[in-house]
Amino acid sequence: MKATQALHNLGQSIWLDNITRDLLDSGTLARYINEFSVTGLTSNPTIFDHAIRNSTAYDAAIREKMRKGKSGEALFFELALEDITRAAALFGPVHEQTDGVDGWVSLEVSPLLAYDTASTLAAARDLHTRAGQANLFIKIPGTREGLPAIEEAIFSGVPINVTLLFSREQYLAAADAFLRGIERRIDAGLTPSVASVASLFVSRWDAAVMGKVPEPLTNQLGIAIAKRALKGYRELLASPRWQRAGDAGARPQRLLWASTGTKDPKASDVLYVKALAAPFTINTVPESTLKALADHGEIGAVLPADGGDCEQVLAAFAKSGIDVDTLAARLQEEGAKSFVSSWNDLMGVIAAKSAALKTAAAS
């Protein structure tokens, strides 16, 4: 049995952290669903930047949209929505079979809005309405300014993938925003069954401390942070507050492991998949990691619900001078800046492609 199937049988969802028009046109995504137990998909500005930059598959669509007067951000979101809605259709059967628990795709609002609550909320509502897909998550960063937008989006009935979370505390703040939105729906007599996931980034922790800690601690920080977050997740699901919401018909906000591609060339290419096996969670993996997992991966021991040895490991990092709270805040800020940089690159690619296609058409 492939490790991908074993993880699925364990109760962990495998989502692909990639989307390109070539993946859709070639049938590769459909094959991953059928052969590798992939049950969802996420996207971000970096993914679309690489997809459009490195392929001619978007050229015809760009020409068509240019003829209609589209450019820049407006043109991009039309391209992205076309890809995302096609992917959503492929995952539609999974979404239906799991009664909405799985089979989701994700599209991110402009990262330029990460610190603008009102504009983030408006963009989330607009994208969700335009897509018209029941199994679409809109991604909103779990920044301080993003949290009110998450609450309002959930209250509005918009399914949300909370992104850029780096610690238990950031996760719990996002979960609190989700629950506030759900509780307001209950108080207003609305159905509380609005889906959400909370995406905790893992590998960036280890990249941030590479070479700054003793060798035995190499590639251990991200996993320890994940274990601590899982404990917080399980405690929240067992809490009276959650039980009241669940009794009213709410569904849990699932915890998702993000940034699980191995960045250390000396480490296993399935390090964060093997280490983070846990029922009722999601692991969203890059395409290379998915292929490696299916080819030679194996799953490890199931993560302990009580966090296992995470506090001892984190104490060792503290002893080595790593302040995880400060680092979590820095990683979130850097992550937001990185997405903005990718977004600006993406807009540059859209502009350059549009100009090149216009020149070619005129010649």
Model pLDDT for residues 124-144, shown as the tens digit of each residue: 999 999 999 999 999 999 999
Beta bridge partners of 38: 14
Tokens of 306: 């009580």
Beta bridge partners of 108: 139
pLDDT at residue 298, rounded to an integer: 86
Q: For residue 2, which of 32, 28, 27, 26 has the smallest C-alpha distance? A: 32
How many helices and strands in the chain, by DSSP H and E?
16, 8
Residues 336, 146: Cα–Cα separation, whole Å: 11
Identify whether 231 is a catalytic site residue.
no
**Range 143-155 average pLDDT:** 95
Sign of CA dihedral 16, 22, 25, 26: negative
pLDDT at residue 167, rounded to an integer: 98
pLDDT at residue 128, rounded to an integer: 95
pLDDT at residue 182, rounded to an integer: 98
Residues 122, 154: contact at Cβ < 8 Å?
A: no
Model pLDDT for residues 37-48, shown as the tens digit of each residue: 999 999 998 999
pTM: 0.96
Model pLDDT for residues 194-243, shown as the tens digit of each residue: 999 999 999 999 999 999 999 999 999 999 999 999 999 999 999 999 99
User: Amino acid identity, residue 330?
Assistant: R
Sign of CA dihedral 38, 336, 314, 233: negative
DSSP state of 304: P
pLDDT at residue 297, rounded to an integer: 83
Round the average pLDDT of the chain to a whole number and report it.
Answer: 95
| Res. 192: pLDDT tops 80 | yes
Distances, alpha carbon 305 to alpha carbons 52, 109, 236, 362, in Å: 41, 33, 12, 62
Which residues 6+ apart lie within 8 Å of 203 measured at CB? 222, 259, 260, 261, 262, 263, 272
Beta bridge partners of 105: 41, 136
Model pLDDT for residues 250-300, shown as the tens digit of each residue: 999 999 999 999 999 999 999 999 999 999 999 999 999 999 999 998 888
**Range 71-87 average pLDDT:** 96
**Range 301-308 average pLDDT:** 95
Which residues 6+ apart lie within 8 Å of 132 measured at CB? 85
Residues 127, 20: Cα–Cα separation, whole Å: 19
Q: Which residue ranges form the domains of the chain, and what is each CATH number?
A: 3-362 (3.20.20.70)
Residues 221, 351: Cα–Cα separation, whole Å: 40
Q: Which of 2, 65, 70, 139 is catalytic?
A: 139
Residues 223, 245: Cα–Cα separation, whole Å: 30
**Range 19-31 average pLDDT:** 97
pLDDT at residue 286, rounded to an integer: 96
